[in-house]
Structure 1
Amino acid sequence: MANKYAQYGHPCPIRDVLDRIGDQWSLLILESLATKAFRFNELHREIGDISRQMLTVTLKRLEFDGYISRTVFAEVPTRVEYRLTTLGESFLYPLQQLVQWADRHHEAICYSRKANGATPVIDQS
């Protein structure tokens, strides 16, 4: 039997979605946009330690997948705002559940890492 998702180029919807939003920055951007629309520099300050290049790349991916919209205003200087789409807003509840879970269990995860002698790899890209 053919996989119903094969027509979309990826046979597993869970892997497909998690591959895109499970990177280091997407969830932070989506969480930031949950409260209001942001201009690029505002969002860059809000996130903090993301490079401008990585923010640009991640915003393009989130826009491509339909989580956010990019609106260009015909002003001088040009103003661009990013905001969640209806699809992005529908992701807020599971995102908030994930954030709460991480907050509740972070100490236990860190304890386990330390007990097992693991040093977390921190990607600063």
Structure 2
Amino acid sequence: MLKDRTHVQPHVADALRQINGWQKATSEPSPAVEPGSSLSGDDAKVPTLRVSSAAYQCFTHAVDHLHAVQALLFEAKVIHSYAPYSLLRAAVEAAGEAIWLLEPQPPGTDTSLSQAGMSWFVLSDRWPEG
């Protein structure tokens, strides 16, 4: 941990400052799903396990981790040797999972629902036994 070296590269600082808008956006309820879209169709198939909610939750997790990096660098003004990488990895994984959930699926498949189910178990720590 370096307390005397708190310089952040300008391009990194600019990117991290964008997170404030994302943080504000994710503090709002999730956006409405467009009626008639494939996502609304997935949500209708299993209303208790909505793909849209799982994807939005992944997105909010990514933003939260990025916000933690921003707070660490700009508010705490400390550059840890390894901690930012753990936070950044979690952000990339969560964002990737949101993309994975929202990617178009071949017609007639329920892959998104399976993906949402796996995502729900991982996010809620309720992985089935056996």
What TM-score does the superposition give when structure 1 sets the normalisation length?
A: 0.27
More strand by share: 1
- Give the number of the structure with larger relative contact order, counting CA–CA contacts within 8 Å between residues 6 or more apart: 2
More helix by share: 2
